[in-house]
Amino acid sequence: MEHNLTKTSQNPVQMIAFDFDGTITTTDTLALFFRYWAGTPRWVFNILKLSPVLIGYVIRIVPRDTVKAHLVRAFFKGADADELNRRAAQFAREVIPDLIRPAALKALAEKNNPPYTLYIVSASISNYLDIWAHDNGIKHVIATDLEIKDGKLTGELLGRNCWGPGKMAKISAKMAETPYEIIEAYGDTRGDREMLHAAQVSYFKPFHL
């Protein structure tokens, strides 16, 4: 079954999709951002408070999306959106550059050219990914979004978590009526499986050597 072509067209977007955490970076950036945003004392308090949920995830009785929902509520609910975006921009420019795999950065530069359209597709939050991508000449990011009302974060996600099946759902929603083909996809975990399967050519942990 073909998953990579959404609608018949003579000129679909030729998408090249890169996962971010673990594929482009050496570690999970969202886990780092929770601590960067909250500070160590509050981070420790929240992690201890959520330890039953986190242990449940480790022993595979609590789903990943449930864990993420708890973490997002604990760390972001009620936060000022402008302040979070300011800190996210600092994180993107002060922390993330040291986490980037050189081979991945080289591949991004090589793939970010016509006739292809480069996308970062990540379960991490768009607040800092948009900044990092823009600073590196990457125009398109599909990521997990945080809900904002009246200038404050509600503690909920806006739309789906961009992980696993959610990655393809977010891609489809982003492209809407625009026909596309995933020409190449790059990933490193189970969360990239559907996106890798949808691509004409896929690469698993290509930059880990």
pLDDT at 10: 66
* Cα distances (angstroms) measured from residue 72 to each of 8, 35, 182, 191: 38, 12, 30, 18
pLDDT band for position 49 (50/70/90)? very high
* Cα distances (angstroms) measured from residue 123 to each of 12, 78, 80, 143, 179: 25, 21, 22, 6, 23
Domains of the chain as residue ranges with CATH = 13-204 (3.40.50.1000)
pLDDT band for position 209 (50/70/90)? confident
Q: DSSP states of 114-153 as a string?
A: TTEEEEEEEEEEHHHHHHHHHHTT--EEEEEEEEEETTEE
- When pLDDT is averaged across residues 140-157 and rounded to a whole number, the result is 98
Percentage of the chain modeled with pLDDT above 90 = 94
pLDDT at 56: 98
| Mean of per-residue pLDDT scores for the chain | 95
User: Model's pTM, two decimal places?
Assistant: 0.92
For the cut 50, the answer to whether the pLDDT of residue 7 exceeds it is no
- When pLDDT is averaged across residues 176-204 and rounded to a whole number, the result is 97
CA end-to-end span of the chain, whole Å?
32
pLDDT at 135: 98
- When pLDDT is averaged across residues 37-49 and rounded to a whole number, the result is 98
Q: How far apart are CA 162 and CA 166, in angstroms?
A: 5
Backbone angles phi, psi at 46, to 5 degrees: -65, -40
Residue 184 three-state SS: strand
Strand 152-158 relative to strand 140-149, pairing: antiparallel
